[in-house]
């Protein structure tokens, strides 16, 4: 449960956007009487999924090789977390700026690239972007494959139901909820990367136990706020990325990052 819900929601969010983008492209081609390019949408989608799986496979092999070395494994998890964070921050910022006009944005791209190569490229890039983010998140040391695949499968079924008008969903509310959760998880990922990096530096004797960076901001591990087994701490950990005894740099950077993104989102909505 600790990793299932975050992984499921992340897979659902990324999968939903990827599938909806494909549906938007197909519907635009139908509306503009350019259905001859439908096959190119499928080609691009298959290529995007294939490239995501290939990158995921490479990361999987790399992570398994590194896992045999404890200290290096911690450095790997820290580095992978930061790489994933850069990608997901870019995605979050794009969604904050353009998420409310996603249909228009995608249709504009399609209308200015009405060719076999153009349509294939658009489908490939947009699907691959989501897939690569999923692959990096999966092997950044935080999520496992099963909850992510479950989330993606749920997103695919929901998209099919929406496309054939079998269900009505307020996508604006759904995207806002999942975007807010994604911001919380991105902050958690930053905190996780800092924590693992500091642990690796300590294990490699590059910093001592008394180093300022290892000083805890607070320690609630012996209370109900314990993030691993506390009655309140565990749900907070799953939902919001709560740590019961974070290092000072971890605590400050995680919540500074999180509140900064929410502030940017708030300013954009006010516009």
Predicted pLDDT at 251? 94
pLDDT of residue 142: 59
Q: Which residues of the chain are modeled with pLDDT < 70?
A: 1-3, 63-64, 66-73, 99, 139-143
With beta carbons less than 8 A apart as the criterion, state whether 247 and 201 touch. Answer: no
Q: Which of 92, 103, 130 has its CA nearest to residue 268? A: 92
Which residues span the domain enclosing 128?
4-270
Q: How far apart are CA 154 and CA 9, in angstroms?
A: 10
List residues bridging with 204 in a β-sheet.
none
Please tell me the distance from the alpha carbon of residue 199 to that of residue 72, in angstroms, as a whole number: 11
Q: What is the pLDDT of residue 71?
A: 62
Place of tokens 């911001």: 183
Task: Single out the residue of 82, 71, 68, 56 nearest to residue 139, CA to CA.
Answer: 56
In this prediction, residue 140 carries a pLDDT of: 63
Q: Quick one: pLDDT at residue 52?
A: 86
| Beta bridge pairs of residue 247 | 216
**Domains of the chain: total:** 1
Residue owning tokens 């096959």: 39
Nearest Cα residue to 221 out of 255, 257, 245, 252: 245
pTM assigned to the model: 0.77
């Amino acid at each position: 449960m600790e990793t299932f819900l975050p992984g499921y929601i992340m897979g659902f969010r990324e999968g939903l956007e990827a599938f909806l983008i494909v549906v938007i492209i197909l519907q635009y081609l139908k509306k503009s009487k350019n259905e001859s390019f439908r096959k190119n949408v499928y080609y691009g989608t298959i290529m995007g999924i294939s490239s995501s799986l290939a990158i995921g496979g490479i990361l999987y092999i790399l992570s398994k090789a590194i896992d045999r070395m404890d200290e290096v494994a911690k450095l790997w998890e820290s580095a992978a977390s930061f790489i994933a964070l850069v990608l997901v921050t870019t995605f979050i910022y794009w969604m904050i700026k353009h998420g409310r006009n996603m249909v228009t944005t995608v249709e504009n791209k399609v209308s200015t690239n009405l060719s076999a190569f153009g349509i294939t490229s658009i489908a490939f890039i947009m699907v691959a972007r989501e897939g690569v983010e999923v692959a990096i998140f999966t092997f950044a040391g935080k999520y496992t494959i099963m909850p992510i695949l479950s989330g993606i499968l749920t997103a695919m079924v929901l998209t099919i139901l929406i496309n054939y008008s079998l269900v009505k969903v307020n996508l604006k509310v759904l995207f806002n909820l999942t975007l807010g959760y994604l911001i919380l998880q991105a902050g958690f990922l930053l905190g996780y990367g800092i924590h693992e990096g500091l642990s690796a530096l300590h294990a490699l004797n590059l910093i001592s136990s008394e180093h300022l960076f290892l000083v805890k901001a607070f320690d609630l591990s012996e209370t109900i706020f314990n993030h691993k087994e506390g009655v309140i701490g565990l749900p907070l950990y799953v939902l919001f990325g709560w740590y019961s005894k974070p290092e000072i740099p971890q605590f400050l950077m995680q919540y500074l990052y999180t509140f900064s993104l929410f502030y940017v989102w708030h300013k954009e909505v006010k516009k």
